[in-house]
Structure 1
Amino acid sequence: MHPLTHTLAACVVGGLLSMGAAALLTFGLPRRWLTRMISFSTGVLLATAFLDLLPEAAEAGLETHTLFALLLAGLLGFFFLEKAALWRHSHDAPAHSHDLARTVPIILLGDTVHNFTDGLVLAAAFLVDPHLGWATALAIAAHEIPQEAGDFILLLAAGWRRSRALLWNGLSSLAAVLGGLIGHFWLSDAGRWLPHVLVIAAASFIYLAVSDLMPWLRQQRGDLAWHGGFMAAGIALLSAGMAFLH
């Protein structure tokens, strides 16, 4: 079978498996648990950025000063993008009010960028060896489950219906197919830009966690142990997936 066929099949099957598992983990969740599970999402997002994406960008050869400059630019860029998205919103709202619904575009954008880079990685692996490619695909699927679960939780907490959350996460997962195509046909240039894309994805996750989720959690009364525990669980689950990946 041609490496491109392997790559596209792995992108589609891996995306469906990780998204389906995440949906099973979250769709049966009682509504009262969503607030606590936002802590889980925060842990997953921060762990993905600091323990996975940024180290991978550095290992791919991105110079340290360039990495941090790009990270800073990404954080500022997401700030201005969010300000532009909120242009029509009322400025009379309390200074400390946080509407989770406004984080949805950043959630989907960050997930799309991450899926795109997964497609690039799969294309590179299958060009080397089909067995390596499928091993990588299985590892990525296991690695993606906690992140997809975190995305579902945030979308549900923002008021989205389950069917709508499933549809948009499915569309986001198609970015892996695009990444796989680009990685296969344009691998040299795609490989050169891969660490830059990883840093932008990390910036989106950090911005979302620090500017929106953590301030929102800070306003919730009580449940400190629950929030801390679920945040630690998100970090631990993501770290376990990374250990399997490597």
Structure 2
Amino acid sequence: MLTSLILYSGFSGITVFLGGLLANFFNHHIKESPVKYEITHFFMSFGSGIILSAIALVLIPTGMERLSLSGMTFSFVLGTILFLFIDRYLAKKGGQTATLLAMMMDFVPEAIALGAVFAIDPSMATLLAVFIGLQNLPEAFNSFRDMVQSGYSVTKSLVIFFFLSFCGIFGALLGHFVLSDFPNLTAHLMTFASGGILYLLIQEIIPESKLDKNYIASLGASLGFLIGIIGEKLI
């Protein structure tokens, strides 16, 4: 069972690295053109839709199911305020890491949930691993491009993404062996993450994904949310 958990969580995380590789290939092997620019913004919008679906369909429902109104509100507001200050700090440094932060705030709590669910229903955990992996691909694509634009070298960015891809395994093991007996703590973590992700999504990610006089790019958000609906329905 432990081997299966590592394999499933490893799959959900390896797409972080694959998304970085795909972004690097796209940036350096596809000629600059208006179409390339539109595709880039479509992926940004698509990733935004997937992140929003994770908040609406996975993270928040867990908090609402497990926590009291006051407890849920506290965790959500704490996450929002904390990431407001983190975002202001990063803005002063001139970095563009909001997408990376949102991806990890989404990925790690879901990986923890994957580990907890695996102990109860392995078949549901399999679907959840696939869902998380599909989420991470466009999110990592956008995050990698942001990091390179912030001044990180391609090699350094790929190394960072390689090690981040193992966060799914560590998160799943933590959820399976530690937090599976503390569902309320996991719910607080997910609600806290929701507040931070939603702030970053509205403040940084969605405005960057918009293109003037282009409506196809914004369609990506709806398609991304649809992926979340399909994943949640299957789970």
CA displacement, residues 133-169 of structure 1 (integer Å, 9 cap, x when unaligned): 3333223222332222232232234343333322222
CA contact (8 A) 1:182 1:190 kept: no
Shift of 1:230: 1.6
Contact 1:42–1:209 (CA under 8 A) maintained in structure 2: no
For residue 10 of structure 1, what is the aligned residue in structure 2?
8
User: Amino acid of the residue matched to residue 3 of structure 2?
Assistant: T
Cα distance in 1, alignment partners of residues 60 and 202 from structure 2: 22
CA distance in 1, matches of 2:165, 2:37: 23
Structure 1 partner of 2:59: 57
| Cα distance in 1 between the residues matched to 2:227 and 2:201 | 20
Cα distance in 2 for partners of 1:145, 1:137 equals 13
Give the counterpart of 1:41 among 38, 44, 49. Answer: 44
| Structure 1: distance between partners of 2:181 and 2:120 | 17
Please list the CA deviations of residues 218-239 of structure 1 after superposition, one character each: whole Å capped at 9, or x if unmatched: 8xxxx5133x422321441342
Is 1:225–2:213 an aligned residue pair?
Answer: yes
Unaligned runs of 5+ residues in structure 2 are none
Q: How does 1:96-135 map to 2 (within 5 A)?
A: 99=94, 102-104=95-97, 106-135=98-127
Query: For the residues of structure 1 that align with 2:206 and 2:230, how far apart are their CA atoms?
Result: 26
Task: Tell me what 2:22 maps to.
Answer: 24
Query: Relative to structure 1, is the Cα distance of residues 75 and 135 closer, same or farther in structure 2, using a 3 angstrom cutoff?
Result: closer
**Identical pairs, percent:** 17
CA-atom RMSD in angstroms: 3.2
Counterpart of 1:156 in structure 2 is 148
Report the count of equivalent residues.
225
Q: Structure 1: how far apart are the matches of 2:162 and 2:121?
A: 28
| TM-score, normalization by structure 2 | 0.75
Q: Distance in 1 between matches of 2:225 and 2:138?
A: 6
1:82 positional shift: 3.4
Please name the residue that 1:94 is paired with. Answer: none
1:76-91 → structure 2 map (5 Å cutoff): 76-85=81-90
- Structure 1 runs not aligned, ≥5 long: 90-98
Q: Give the stretch that moved more between structures: 77-86 or 167-176.
A: 77-86
Return the offset for 1:243: 0.8
Q: 1:208 to 1:34 in 2, by over 3 A?
A: farther
CA offsets per residue over residues 189-216 of structure 1, 9 Å max, x none?
4422222222332333333233334556
Deviation at 1:114, TM superposition (A): 2.4
Q: Which residue of 2 aligns with 1:144?
A: 136
Whole-angstrom distance in 1 between the partners of 2:140 and 2:58? 20
Instruction: Tell me how far apart the structure 1 counterparts of residues 8 and 103 of structure 2 sit (CA, whole Å).
Output: 18
Asked if 2 retains the 8 angstrom alpha-carbon contact of 1:6 and 1:126, the reply is no
